[in-house]
Structure 1
Amino acid sequence: MSVQIGNIDLGEFPLLLAPMEDVSDPPFRYVCKQNGADMMYTEFISSEGLIRDAAKSRQKLDIFEYERPIGIQIFGSDIDHMREATEIATQANPDLMDINYGCPVKQVACRGAGASLLQDIDKMVAMTKAVVNATHLPVTVKTRLGWDDTTKNVYEVAERLQDVGIKALTIHGRTRAQMYKGVADWTLIREIKKNPRINIPIFGNGDIDSPEKAADWRLEYGVDGMMIGRAAIGYPWIFREIKHYFKTGEHLEGPTIAERINVCRTHLQRSVEWKGPKTGIFEMRRHYASYFKGIENFKEYRMRLVQAPTVDEVEDILAEVHDNYAVMA
């Protein structure tokens, strides 16, 4: 059975790339798409920023044809501003709109946006309805189990948001109080999926970091698909490895040094094309350690990559890495 969001066909068990602040930009999304991500989202975008026409928020609306299907994710604490931001984002022509009710960080949650709306379900429902009414696109939501252990209210949230017209729900298996600590608990996600009232796709998110876990949890929790976040940073191959394991029950060999270098290089080129050399190089620095994680004696190269001021110098260092490690492989 294919999973459908509105008229978007995502195939049998889609793997989604999570929207991650300062990570899920077009260059990163490009390498994830190439490695099997079925659907992706922009970084979350402030509704206030869109309305003010802030350059950073506007730039996050950039989407490219090869990324489809792609959703624009927005967050905010004011219902009218969310409605207005939805109208602006719809003009960027994404495939769907997504609302963030899951972000736990203080700057968002303590301003009454993101996960803080789990403390006011009536307002969350009203806001969702306003977004649904402001666009012709399917609207999806990403949220958490609840604000803390005593208020795990996502079961009610799922029913009420479906009632006002959302077309899919992604649930991160932690409360806001947990942030990203502890272990994600998917048992409530399974209960929601089993709820006979729920007929929209339910995606699970949190701690999917290996093909075995993806396969085990697919069976155990019965979700319609999975959203992968941190495990894809510097390792976009996670998507293809999980898909291969689903099909064959066998592990795909990990990427070779040459592959790691090629993807890193592609990511850098895309970053520089999109943001210009200075910002492109600077923002790429957070990815080097992840791309070469687990490779022996890499520290010196990493230090040099992080300090290299030009594309040519980064390319030279990557060529040196290739020559030194490819021989060993």
Structure 2
Amino acid sequence: MVKIGNLELGEYPLLLAPMEDVSDPPFRAVCKENGADLMYTEFISSEGLIRDAAKSVQKLDIYEYERPIGIQIFGNEIQSMREAAAIVEEAQPDILDINYGCPVNKVACKGAGAGILLDIDKMVSMTAEIVKSVNIPVTVKTRLGWDNDTIRIVEVAERLQDVGIQGISIHARTRKQMYKGEADWSYLNKVKANPRLHIPVFGNGDIDSPERAKEYKEKYNVDGMMIGRASIGYPWIFNEIKHFLETGQKIPSPELPERLAVARKHLDFSVQWKGEKLGILEMRRHYTNYFRGMPNFKPFRTRMVTSDTYEEVCEILDEVSEVFAGYEFV
């Protein structure tokens, strides 16, 4: 049984990665229904939280059915991160997660996210202060290093454990790689081989199919997996991986009625939570995967991602249901 603090996550948990403008409550709802064992919010700016910025505060929204749920924060000032951690704890998540992995310039080049991988001592000090400031389990998501010359992930994992984190998720790329090239999970093997390490280690990067999940589980010895981009518009990936790991057999891909039902549910919650304009805008990234593989679908997708009203998107979904009735996914 894999545990973070007193939270029991099952024998081989699958985690939903924190993704900006993706891992919001509407998306988390459909992932939870389809097998995610632990989910994290979008990352939240510590500076935004302590200044009571509306966008940052809204990201604290969590729901009972999501549990266990972690709230993730990022920042480059230790005091701001301590204050933000206290605000997060008031929202009563099960876990507080620290983002030491975001590679985008506006975060990393300010010394936050993956930027702190250039200053491991500060990373450890910041983590220690956050752990001391809250009474809930603290976890970390990070990368292998800033670049190939700065990979110290075995040392980093041990030092973070020693100051109190209770789990670590490692995206097996460097910051320099961004999301390009192949993730190198061999470093995760090295982390797990450290006899001093006893916290769970979750692997992240390139898990895009049940077959690859099984291969990496058997090869790299991690305690579970964190899934990010492969879940966008395809929340079924969690249950598909679980079934394949248990049986060696693949679940058939969801057919059109199920895809439409989940897309509608996601859309409805998105509009309800964010308002029509923003809810529709942020749904656009999901449509390609919800309907991937359907022939001659491009005109419908183009209309979906350019529609500005809820009614218009619903009408297009109704059209899809009629035009493609009986279509079977391979």
Please tell me the TM-score bracket, short chain as reference.
over 0.9
Q: Secondary structure at the match of 1:44?
A: strand
Q: Is the 8 A contact 2:19 2:228 kept in 1?
A: yes
* Structure-2 residue corresponding to 1:203: 202
Give the superposition deviation at 1:313: 2.1
Q: How many angstroms does 1:309 deviate by?
A: 2.7
User: Structure 2 unaligned runs (5+)?
Assistant: none
Aligned 8 A contact 2:20 2:43 in 1: yes
**Which residues in structure 2 correspond to 1:21-32 (within 5 Å)?**
21-32=20-31
| CA displacement, residues 210-255 of structure 1 (integer Å, 9 cap, x when unaligned) | 0011011101001000000000001111001001101110010001
Counterpart-to-counterpart distance in 2, 1:106 and 1:316: 39
CA distance in 2, matches of 1:306, 1:107: 26
Length-normalised TM-score, structure 1:
0.98
> Whole-Å Cα distance in 2 between the matches of residues 58 and 70 of structure 1?
16
CA distance in 2, matches of 1:53, 1:317: 38
Amino acid at match of 2:187: L
Instruction: Show the counterpart of 1:155.
Output: 154
Aligned partner of residue 165 in structure 2, secondary structure: coil
Q: Give the RMSD, CA atoms, in angstroms.
A: 0.9
SS at match of 1:326: coil
Q: Which residue of 2 aligns with 1:18?
A: 17
Contact 2:85 2:133 in 1 (8 A): yes
Percent of residue pairs identical: 65
Match of 1:263 in 2: 262
Q: How does 1:53-202 map to 2 (within 5 A)?
A: 53-202=52-201
TM-superposed deviation, 1:282: 2.0
Amino acid at match of 1:321: V
- Taking the aligned partners of 2:306 and 2:198, their CA distance within structure 1 comes to 51
1:194-273 equivalence runs, <5 A: 194-273=193-272
User: Offset at 1:276?
Assistant: 1.7
SS in 2 for 1:140: strand
1:327 Cα deviation (Å)? Answer: 2.9
Following the alignment from structure 2 to structure 1, what is the Cα–Cα distance between the partners of residues 257 and 263?
Answer: 10
- The answer (yes or no) to whether the contact 2:256–2:327 under 8 Å persists in 1 is no
- Residue type of the alignment partner of 1:134: S
Residue of structure 1 in register with 2:311 after alignment:
312
**Aligned 1:18-57 pairs, distance under 5 A:** 18-57=17-56
Question: Which residue identity is paired with 1:23?
Answer: V
Match of residue 9 from structure 1: 8
- In the alignment, the residues of structure 2 paired with residue 241 and residue 230 of structure 1 have an alpha-carbon distance, to the nearest angstrom, of 15
Partner Cα distance (1:91, 1:167) in 2: 20
Stretches of 4+ aligned residues off by more than 6 angstroms:
none
Deviates more, 1:128-137 or 1:297-306: 297-306
Aligned-partner Cα distance in 1 for 2:41–2:271 = 18
Alignment correspondent of 1:275: 274
- Corresponding residue SS for 1:286: helix
Count of paired positions: 328
| Larger CA deviation: 277-286 vs 315-324 | 277-286
- Report the TM-score when normalising by structure 2: 0.98
Q: Deviations over 1:88-124 (max 9, x none)?
A: 0110110010001111110000001011111111100
CA-to-aligned-CA distance 1:291-323 (integer Å, 9 cap, x gap):
112211111111221233322222221111111
